[in-house]
Structures are given as C-alpha cells and as structure tokens.
Chain A
Amino acid sequence: MIDKIFLNMTRTSALLILFIVAWIFVVLFNHSIEAMQTFGFDFITKDEWAPNLEKFGAYAAIFGSVASTFLAMLLAIPVAIGVAIFLSEIAHDKIKGFFGVSVELLAAIPSVIYGMWGLFFFVPILRDIFGGMGIGLLAAGIVLAIMILPFMAAVTRDAMNTTPDILKESAYALGGTQWDVIKDIIIPYAKAGIIGSLILALGRAIGETMAVTFVMGNVHHTPKTILDPTTSIPVTLANEFTEADSSLYFSSLFGLALTLLVMSFVVIAIAKFYFLRKVRKGQ
C-alpha cells in the first residue's frame, strides 16, 4: 500500500515536469500564432522592428543571440580548456583544491552581477580601446564568455578527470611527456564529455538575459561590426514586455520566446546526444 502511494507520487512528479514543459510550449505557440500569421517567415528573416508601425522582424535579435553566443564560445573555449588542463593535470593537489573551489564559486555568481560589472567597469575599457560607445556585440560576447567560463572549465575538468590513471601511466611508461599525455590520451579520451559540456555552456549562453541586457545596447539593428550595439532575444523580451501595447506586439514577443525555446531545445538535445554516447561507450 505504502509502496503504491510512493510509486504514484514519484510518477506524478515526473509527469508534472512533462506537463509543465508541454504547457509552456503550448502557451508560447498559441500566443505567437497572430505574429506568425501576420508575418510568416518574414518574422525571422527581416530585421525591421518598429512597434509604432506594427512591423516586427526578429532577425536582428536572433542574429544578436547567435553572434554573441558564438563570440563568447570562441573566447571562452580555449581559456576553459586551458584552465581545465591546469586543474586536472598540472596543478599540485593543494592548488587544485583551492582553484577548483574558486572556479565553482565563480560559476555560482548570479549573472546580473556579471552584467553590472560589465557595464560599469568593462565597457569603459572597451570604449577607451576601440572608441565608440563600448556597449555592443563585442562587450556582450566578452561578458558572456567570462560568465560561462567557470562553468565550462569546471565541467571540462570533470570530464578530463574521468581518464583512468592507468591509461595515463601507460602513456608515460612509453616515454610520453606531460604534454603528449594531455593531447594524445586525456583529450581524446574525454572528448565526448568535453564537447557535451561545451554545448551545455552554449545552452546557458544563448538564453542568458541579465548579463547581456546591460551591455548589448538594445537596438534592433543587425550589427555591421562587432563593436555595434544590437540586441538579442532574451534582451528584447526583458526590455520590451512592459511596453507591449498592441496584441500584435505582444504576440511577436511570444514568437521571439518560442524561437529561443526551440533554439535552446536543439542545443540541449545535441549535448544530451553526446553525453548519452559517452555513457554507452563507458559500459
């Protein structure tokens, strides 16, 4: 009897998750129908976003999301892998512990703090170096990179730590240097885990709102250079929901949200595919 109640409780909890996801999807879909019917594919291919003219093309926001995420990944990946190699292979035990905890603490900093720090301290530096306003795609990319870096480094390190000692020793026993072992054994062995963690970080970056809202500029223009201010999907949503005064405007914002949801789903699905592949390999 108690078993049965317990079983039903766990089952209900699991179903609840599915239900909520489905619910969110249906709500987003329903509310964005009006925008989809009005604009069709133009919604994602045109970049004219003019609420006063009732014209909504989300291309700039989509482009901004993808470009800032791409830039962030480009900047963060080499550094994260470097940090992970240091933490898993090179540092001595004491430093390993201290640095390891620090990296995990950094990963726990709320993203709004990265955004504030970026706007007040980082943007002025960019302005001094490159001129212009400082806020824009580059600033967003860098702040995002800094934000995802600790998470990325921590999971990449965990993936590298799964390499069995005996495998590393075998390579050393053949006359391998530390660098040989890292590049020929550890990275290939942990490859699936590393790629999976990179994609999870990508998932975080693409949906990130607060860290980039401060530094992106929030203008609906497809940027011509990486110094131009632009916007992204979550930035647009956070800034404009309170201003949506017409039903088409409202619906267009939901359309944006739906686009973001689909993008995130695809990213996470790819990451899970890699993780699953790794788990299967391990058996």
Chain B
Amino acid sequence: MASIIDIKDECSLHVRNFSFTYKGATTPSLKKVTMPIAKHSVTALIGPSGCGKTTLLRSFNRMHDLYPGNKYEGEIEFEGRNILDPKEDLIHLRTKIGMIFQKPTAFPMSIFDNVAYGMRLQGIKNKTELEGRVEKALQDAAIWKEVKDRLKHDANGLSGGQQQRLCIARAIAVEPEVLLFDEPTSALDPISTQGIEKLVIELKERVSIIIVTHNMQQAARVSDYTGFMYLGDLIELGHTEELFVTPKEKLTQEYITGKFG
C-alpha cells in the first residue's frame, strides 16, 4: 500500500481519491490518488514516463478540459471547494493556479505585453499599475536587468532560459496561490536550469509550488516534499530528504537507485 505522510503544516491543496481517465481509454491514468500539497513549499512529482505525474499536474488547473471527453472522479480541494466540480469557474481557477510549461512559450508580442497579458485578461487597464506590476514580476523572476531596456522588443528574441523566466514572470504577475511547473528545465542548458531552480526556491515564500521532473537530482535540490508515482498510483509521498535517503516503499527505493526507470 501507498505510504503517504501526514503533513502537519497548512495545505493549499488536498487530492482525495482522485481518478482520471483520458477520452477513449478503458483504464484510468490516475487511480484513486490521495495527496496533500503543503502550502508555501515545493512538492516534486517524480516517476518513470507514463506514471501519471503530468496528468496529475494538469488536473490542478483543469487543463484537460481543453480536450473534451476526459473524465475526472474524486476530489481536489482548493480554497474550501472541490475544483473538479463541473460548475467550477475555470478562468478564475487558472488565475489562482498558474502553470509553467516544458518549453518556453513566449507569446508573439513584446516582452512588456507578455508579462502584462494575464493582468489585461483580468481587465486591468491602468498604465501605471501595469507598469509597476510588470517591473515587479520581472524583478521577482530575476530577469528585469536583462530586459529593462528592451521591454518593447519581441519576446521571441530572448534566449530559451530568458524566455522561461519571462514565462515565470508572466505567471506570477497575476499573483497566483499555486504554481505548477511541468518539467520546466527539460529544454534548457545547465546554467539556465540552475537559474530556474534558484527561482523556484525563492518563489515558495509566496506561492505553493508543484513541480514535475524527470530529473531526481532536481527534485532533491528544489523540493521540500517528493511524491513518487508509478503506473497511475502515488506510491510514496514524504519529506524529500527522507524519501531519497530512507524510502519506505520497495518500489521507491528501486526507482531512486536506478533499478528501473
């Protein structure tokens, strides 16, 4: 059976008996997953390809709803309500739970407009407010110095690492409660990866972070809690140090020692 630690600190999300089935699939990709996500900390999801970690991540902001026919069962509690409720306001949910993707996704517009985009969607038009918050977000994403003289330039002119930090700035500009990172450094070089990891650790003071990664060292470096998933089950959730040093489950131990993967 799964070994899930009881998190004493406040939690921002509670996953309870959550199953997810893709359109047309006969077996669920996630099977009755139960998992607390601690507030203002970093939770890493690791596991071999196809284990369901990205599927779980994309459930938190209901990204699966973009492709009709998928089925959610169970509960994900956020701010006192079940966000899997069909009546959940997805626009509002996604401003509270932001996402960073596998590849940098700068929009075809200027650097400034990229960061201002989420705020403009919320109807913020005041120029001074936008300018202030864009600058703040870019500073928080540690990219302000590099771009402050070319805010009007096309964002696609930035390097991959810069674009990914721009995406983080764009996501934090709308002041979310939770940030989802889907293998955010898989397309980046080691130096840029270091920058993103440092940023993830800094950001947890303000937001709860869930990060999916293929890289166990990365999970060990950035996270407070780590969940190991295998074939749609959450096998183990524990403090990162404990999970990597003294795993409770045999499967976890085999995975982190490289016996399969």
* Contact A170 B167, CB 8 Å, known A175-B92, A177-B91, A188-B109: yes
From B108, B122, B170, give the contact of A185 (CB < 8 A): B108
Interface size on B, residues (CB 8 A): 25
A184–B98 touching, CB < 8 Å:
no
Query: Does A171 make an interface contact (CB < 8 A)?
Result: yes
Stretch from B37-45, B61-69, B145-153, B195-203 contacting the other chain: B61-69
- Provide the residues of chain B in CB contact with A189, threshold 8 Å: 108
Query: Does B192 make an interface contact (CB < 8 A)?
Result: no
With the chains together, A169 CA to B107 CA distance in Å? 11
B107–A173 touching, CB < 8 Å:
no
- Provide the residues of chain A in CB contact with B92, threshold 8 Å: 175
B117–A184 touching, CB < 8 Å:
yes
- Provide the residues of chain A in CB contact with B185, threshold 8 Å: none
B121–A173 touching, CB < 8 Å:
no
- Provide the residues of chain A in CB contact with B94, threshold 8 Å: 172-175
- Provide the residues of chain B in CB contact with A177, threshold 8 Å: 91
- Provide the residues of chain B in CB contact with A176, threshold 8 Å: 91, 121
A166–B174 touching, CB < 8 Å:
no
B118–A175 touching, CB < 8 Å:
yes
B101–A170 touching, CB < 8 Å:
yes
Closest B residue by C-beta to A92: B68
- Provide the residues of chain A in CB contact with B66, threshold 8 Å: 168-169, 172
A173–B63 touching, CB < 8 Å:
yes
Contact-size category for A: 20 to 34
Query: Does A180 make an interface contact (CB < 8 A)?
Result: yes
Distance from B215 Cβ to chain A, minimum over Cβ atoms (Å): 20
Distance from B129 Cβ to chain A, minimum over Cβ atoms (Å): 17
Beta-carbon contacts of A205-230 to B below 8 Å, as 1s and 0s?
00000000000000000000000000
- Provide the residues of chain B in CB contact with A180, threshold 8 Å: 121
Interface residues of A in 121-140 (CB under 8 A from B): none
Query: Does A26 make an interface contact (CB < 8 A)?
Result: no
Query: Does A167 make an interface contact (CB < 8 A)?
Result: yes
Query: Does B83 make an interface contact (CB < 8 A)?
Result: no
Query: Does B15 make an interface contact (CB < 8 A)?
Result: no
With the chains together, A191 CA to B91 CA distance in Å? 26
With the chains together, A170 CA to B147 CA distance in Å? 21
Closest B residue by C-beta to A93: B68
Beta-carbon contacts of A161-199 to B below 8 Å, as 1s and 0s?
000101111111111110010001100110100000000
* Contact A170 B91, CB 8 Å, known A92-B68, A176-B121: no
B105–A175 touching, CB < 8 Å:
no
Interface residues of A in 142-173 (CB under 8 A from B): 164, 166-173
B91–A175 touching, CB < 8 Å:
yes
* Contact A174 B98, CB 8 Å, known A169-B63, A180-B121: yes
Distance from A249 Cβ to chain B, minimum over Cβ atoms (Å): 53
A175–B174 touching, CB < 8 Å:
yes
From A92, A175, A185, A191, give the contact of B107 (CB < 8 A): A185
- Provide the residues of chain A in CB contact with B68, threshold 8 Å: 92
Q: Besides A169-B101, A174-B117, A175-B118, 6 other CB < 8 A contacts?
A: A167-B105, A168-B66, A170-B107, A174-B118, A185-B107, A188-B107
Q: Which residues of B contact A (CB under 8 A)?
A: 61, 63, 66, 68, 91-92, 94-95, 98-99, 101-103, 105, 107-109, 117-118, 121-122, 167, 170-171, 174
CB-based closest 5 A-B pairs: A174-B118, A170-B105, A173-B99, A175-B95, A188-B108
A-B contacts, 17 of them at CB < 8 A, read: A164-B105, A166-B102, A168-B66, A169-B99, A172-B94, A173-B61, A173-B94, A173-B99, A173-B101, A174-B94, A174-B98, A174-B170, A175-B91, A175-B92, A175-B122, A188-B107, A188-B109
